Amino acid sequence: MNMNTPLEGMKILDVSTMIAAPYGAVLLGDFGAEVIKVEIPGKGDTLRHVGPFAEGEPLRWSGLSRNKKSLTLDLHKDEAKDIFKKLAGQVDVLIENFRPGTLEKWGVGYDVLKEINPQLIMIRVSGYGQTGPFKDKAGFGTPATAFSGFTYIQGFPDRHPVSPSFSLTDYIAGIYVAFATVTAMYYRDTHSEGTGQMVDLALYESVFRMLEFLVAEYDKLGKVRERSPGLSGHSSPAGTYVTKDGHYLVLVTSTDSTFNRLAEAMNRLDLLENEKFAVNASR
């Protein structure tokens, strides 16, 4: 049975590499968009050379490249630039994550492509944005995670900060890529004056957006959040605990009703009568 997909008819030119931007493109492909993946001749996407591997094949590659068509172009060459411009004239969205200014240096920046296709939406992913003092720095997820402030608060108070054990920021940024794409498409297609636009998305911003309450906490309370292994300061108990029989238990009591059930399960209803534990603010 043939089923229509939500993004059927959307055409995307994906000239990005590694994880963040390609992940956004693959999410759009999952929902029916036609995604054309452009790689460097002879080398391919850098992700092809990143582990883990099985029988010489990169395991991440298939997950981040599914539902994509493929071709190679060397944008240093005029013929490739002409092909690239023709493709850009036929798609709705172009997704890229070169260092800011790279496409402009090659003569295929947003202003040039917008002349060819006024309806084009360009999603630009970088480490620290298209403008500003750090725009020329290479954009990798691990440093961007630290720059956002996330790394500083991860781990135990008496030990060094801990980075996520996988490419967390890249994947979060990829979700923003997909969200920004459909938002820009919606605006373009539902407003009488709607047109293409350029989206500037920095890796660190995707995580910093999720730490907004820490900004408010510092502004109103003057508090700098330090490292904590759990949900310190807003839910208690919360975290990972060792059981009597040597297993690990993860729990969170974000509401008082949840803590009430926990106290009952532990046969400690007396805690509910103790002002130190009765409500979450006290705990």
pLDDT confidence tier of residue 96, bands split at 50, 70 and 90: very high
**Class of the CATH domain delimited by 231-283:** alpha beta
C-alpha distances out from residue 132 to 70, 136, 211, Å: 34, 9, 21
Instruction: Say whether domain 11-211 belongs to CATH 3.40.50.10540.
Output: yes
Domain ranges (residues) in the chain: 11-211, 231-283
pLDDT tens-digit profile of 224-248?
999 987 777 778 888 889 999 999 9
What percent of the chain has pLDDT above 70? 99
Report the mean per-residue pLDDT for the chain.
Answer: 94
* Element (DSSP H or E) covering residue 72: strand 68-72
Same topology between domain 11-211 and domain 231-283: no
Q: What is the mean pLDDT of residues 70-96?
A: 97
pLDDT at residue 2 greater than cutoff 70: no
Let me know: does 107 contact 113? Beta carbons within 8 Å: no
Q: What is the mean pLDDT of residues 22-45?
A: 96
What are the beta bridge partners of residue 122?
A: 94, 198
pLDDT tens-digit profile of 150-205?
999 999 999 999 999 999 999 999 999 999 999 999 999 999 888 999 999 999 99
The C-alpha atoms of residue 209 and residue 224 are separated, in whole angstroms, by 17
pLDDT at residue 1 greater than cutoff 50: no
Q: What is the mean pLDDT of residues 115-133?
A: 97
For residue 94, give the nearest of 38, 137, 140, 48 by alpha carbon.
38
Annotated active-site positions, please?
170
